[in-house]
A and B are shown apart, each in its own frame.
Chain A
Amino acid sequence: GNSVTQMEGPVTLSEEAFLTINCTYTATGYPSLFWYVQYPGEGLQLLLKATKADDKGSNKGFEATYRKETTSFHLEKGSVQVSDSAVYFCALRHSYNQGGKLIFGQGTELSVKP
């Protein structure tokens, strides 16, 4: 079946460090891929998305490229800030899933220290 695997956290970085959070998926065909961010005590916010192979999603300095050949959608940011501390969820949506439901990874907690 369809699944998403994220690197385990927590990830602790210093401010202005480079961030990579790995995400790989298992799915037939061409799912859409998403990164959601959840700040402490809040709901999920859509961070970025990509709907076909080689698409690059970007928002707020974060980027992720849909790589069909490696079934990956790694999240990157060149210089993190303390305000980026949150839990990041990678997710896929596939029309073959029941009702097109979202399949989430386990989440990666990021902590950025000043």
Chain B
Amino acid sequence: DTEVTQTPKHLVMGMTNKKSLKCEQHMGHRAMYWYKQKAKKPPELMFVYSYEKLSINESVPSRFSPECPNSSLLNLHLHALQPEDSALYLCASSQGRAGVRETQYFGPGTRLLVL
């Protein structure tokens, strides 16, 4: 089983709202990732958690706040977003050994629209 689940599937929010995206995996993976993807572009890495600790923040604005409550869950808290933040947000996970042969498995994504 290589399933990563994400909720919600779609989200519409205003610029003053606070919302959260959720990602879950039960593969025993210890590395989890958030990506942002604009239409017809490759995913852009935002954050990496390794063993529940934030290991990479790709200079993401503070209106995006990640959280890893346990090894199976990854959240992305959203606050005061801008319309240009509208995109597909993808979660991924991998075993967490940070080796070259690691494979990342992606979830179906949350399609976010900021009005």
Contact, CB under 8 Å: A43 / B100: no
Q: Give the contacts of B60-115 with A (CB-CB under 8 A).
A: 88, 90, 92, 98-109
Q: State the Cβ distance, A92 to closest chain B Cβ, in Å.
A: 9
B45 on the A face (CB < 8 A): yes
Contact, CB under 8 Å: B100 / A104: no
Interface size on A, residues (CB 8 A): 27
Contact, CB under 8 Å: A49 / B41: no
Indicate which residue in B2, B99, B106 contacts A43 across the interface (CB closer than 8 Å).
Answer: B106
Contact, CB under 8 Å: B48 / A44: no
A-B pairs with beta carbons under 8 A, tally: 65
How many Å lie between the Cα of A95 and that of B98 in the bound state? Answer: 7
User: Contact size class for B?
Assistant: 20 to 34
What 0/1 readout, one digit per residue, does chain A (85-114) give for beta carbons within 8 Å of chain B? 001010001110011111011110100000
B14 on the A face (CB < 8 A): no
Contact, CB under 8 Å: B41 / A106: yes
A14 on the B face (CB < 8 A): no
How many Å lie between the Cα of A107 and that of B56 in the bound state? Answer: 24
How many Å lie between the Cα of A102 and that of B92 in the bound state? Answer: 11
Contact, CB under 8 Å: B42 / A89: yes
B20 on the A face (CB < 8 A): no
B55 on the A face (CB < 8 A): yes
User: Among A100, A105, A107, which residue has the most Cβ atoms of chain B within 10 A?
Assistant: A100
Interface residues of A (CB under 8 A from B): 30-32, 34, 36, 42-46, 49, 51, 87, 89, 93-95, 98-102, 104-107, 109
Closest 5 CB pairs of A and B: A104-B42, A44-B106, A43-B108, A95-B100, A43-B109
Interface residues of B (CB under 8 A from A): 2, 6, 40-43, 45, 48, 50, 55-56, 88, 90, 92, 98-109
